[in-house]
Amino acid sequence: MAWDVTGVRVLITGGSSGLGRAMATALVAGGAQVMVGSRNADRLRETQNVVAHGPGELETIVLDVRDEASCNQAIARTVDVWGGLDVLVNNAGLGMRVVNPRFFSDPEPFWTVPPEAFRLVIDTNLTGYYLMARAATPHFLSAGRGKIVNVTMNHETMRRRGFVPYGPSRAGAESLSLIMQEDLRPYGIAVNQLLPGGATRTGMIPDEVPEAARARLLDPMIMAEPIRYLCSAASDGLIGERLVARDFDQWLQQHAAPSP
């Protein structure tokens, strides 16, 4: 984890737990200036106490990515506090657990999913990515540079039985990422995707998962090295990649990336 992110200004949505907190921890440890957004004020305070131990800096903001005004406010506050924004990490998301707490052992068919639950997940996992990127892009265009990292999941998740609406929300976010990268490519603004490469030990995992299966779950800190790479100057010029954190070392070898 030697990628230099000193002074890099980053906004992470959904950064108060799980993958988001892991990425915030890695970036602050590397010297970045990180704004963490989340709807849960209590978790934000906990994150502030746990993560904010230099050499970087961490600030928090209550953020609802489903709300346009809240997204605009988060961008504006990040720019105000850090003097600018270099990287937006779209990570805030809801899992199947909010729709069906027993999705692991008792998958629910799509036609029985309540429409309000469908909208809740889509609004967070897909519309939230759009609203945050939409709010950040004018700043990036004005600055003449910027990076967007959209966190996604395995393609298997997008076609698994009983995974409506989570699967469609992630598939939509991938399509959004691909279109965003082409829209922004002429302006030198990078859009890349990052996923852990398997189920991780986060609050999205149902309580009923057996201990043997839990032992195989990935640690959220698997995101640490690739997110530092994507936020560092080493990734300048990288556009349109879908990085799998579990396979990051192999990806680096294949792409002949310079050693940190």
- Listed in sequence order, the residues at least 6 apart from 230 whose beta carbon sits closer than 8 Å to its beta carbon are 87, 147, 149, 192, 194, 238, 243
The whole-chain average pLDDT of the chain stands at 91
Per-residue pLDDT at 203? 55
| pLDDT, position 198 | 77
**Edge-to-edge strand ranges of the sheet holding 33-38:** 57-62, 33-38, 9-13, 87-90, 147-151, 190-195, 242-244
Can you tell me the mean pLDDT for 83-101? 92
Q: pLDDT (tens digit, 9 = 90+) per residue, 56-69?
A: 999 999 999 999 99
% of the chain beyond a pLDDT of 70:
91
Position 209 scores a pLDDT of 55
The phi-psi region of residue 53 (left if phi > 0; otherwise alpha if psi is between -120 and 50; otherwise beta) is beta
pLDDT in tens, 137-184: 999 999 999 999 999 998 988 999 999 999 999 999 999 999 999 999
**pLDDT given for residue 204 in this prediction:** 59
Q: Is residue 258 scored above 80 in pLDDT?
A: no
Q: In the prediction, which pLDDT does 215 show?
A: 62
The predicted model gives 43-58 an average pLDDT of 89
Cβ contact 236:192 at 8 Å: no
Give the dihedral of Cα atoms 4, 5, 6, 7; nearest 10 deg: 150
Above 80 in pLDDT, residue 256?
no
Out of 9-13, 44-48, 204-208, 254-258, least confident range: 204-208
Instruction: Report domain extents, the chain.
Output: 9-254
Q: What is the CATH architecture assignment of 9-254?
A: 3-Layer(aba) Sandwich (3.40)
Whole-structure pTM value: 0.91
Q: What would the pLDDT profile of 174-222 be if each residue is shown by its tens digit?
A: 999 999 999 999 999 999 999 998 776 565 555 555 565 556 778 999 9
Alpha carbon separation from 232 to 30, 51, 63, 91 (Å, rounded): 10, 20, 25, 18
